[in-house]
Amino acid sequence: MEERIAIQGRDYRFQRPADLETLWEQLDEQDFCADERLPYWVEIWPAGIFLAQWIARQKDRLSMDWCLDLGCGLGVSTCVAAEFTGRALGLDYEFAALSYARRNAGLNGCDAANWALMDWRRPGLKPGSFAFIWGADILYEARFFQPLARIFQELLAPGGIIWLSTPQRKVSEPFWNILAQNDWRISLQDTEHIAYKTYHMQVYLWEITRKTP
């Protein structure tokens, strides 16, 4: 299946094997365990489109410093960032997601994108090495929050910036308290109603920085 998306005046193509509904039907009981990995990577989410648009608009802020895209899925925001910096790293723990992300980078001529098959609960990346860390629609389960707060603390370079693009979800509310208690400054940068295929939602772009750089 191929999707076409316009980001800041440029048309991108993204391939994926099926839609979420089809993959969902193939899941069995074992997939719904405590560490369940539901195949959300197979969709392009409104928050992912919004983040990619934001990155394209912020391109002058992206230097040649490393940027980390947490839970990159099909690679939309990593591919767009790779147009402006050769140091964009898309991270996901699903092998299938990354193999499509890599293929999508090739389809769009975003060959500078880099990919890491990694679990954000056990990152094997150099501490303090990312000037930017971002993620789209990664705050949908409470068990993600402590590992994400830890990864921000460990991997963000001094003076670095985090961008999170997300719909408003009740389940995400404790995450903002965890960040606030750990000395992060949180500011809303933009919000928009994004309609893509059957998904229609208001999404928010948050910028997070250390209070004491």
Ligand X SMILES: C[S@@+](CC[C@H](N)C(=O)[O-])C[C@H]1O[C@@H](n2cnc3c(N)ncnc32)[C@H](O)[C@@H]1O
DSSP three-state, residue 101? helix
- Amino acid code (one letter) for 167: P
Kindly tell me which residue out of 40, 176, 199, 204 binds ligand X, with binding defined by CB under 6 A: 40
Residues 116-155 interacting with ligand X (rule: CB under 6 A) = 119-121, 136-138
Structure tokens at 105: 């980078």
Kindly tell me which residue out of 44, 67, 131, 201 binds ligand X, with binding defined by CB under 6 A: 44
Using rule CB under 6 A, residue 24 touches ligand X? no
Strands (DSSP E) found in 73-198: 88-92, 114-117, 130-136, 156-167, 184-196
- The CA distances from residue 23 to 16, 18, 26, 27, 31, in Å, are 11, 7, 5, 7, 11
**In the complex, least distance from residue 108 CB atom to ligand X, rounded to whole angstroms:** 15
Nearer to ligand X, 24 or 40 (CB): 40
| Stretch 82-111: interaction string toward ligand X, x if CB under 6 A | ----------xxx--x--------------
Smallest CA-to-CA distance from 128 within 103, 99, 157, 104 is with 157
Kindly tell me which residue out of 12, 16, 23, 41 binds ligand X, with binding defined by CB under 6 A: 41
Query: Which value, to the nearest 10 degrees, does the dihedral of the CA atoms of residues 93, 94, 100, 105 take?
Result: 0
Given the rule CB under 6 A, which residues bind ligand X?
A: 40-41, 44-45, 47-48, 71-73, 76, 92-94, 97, 119-121, 136-138
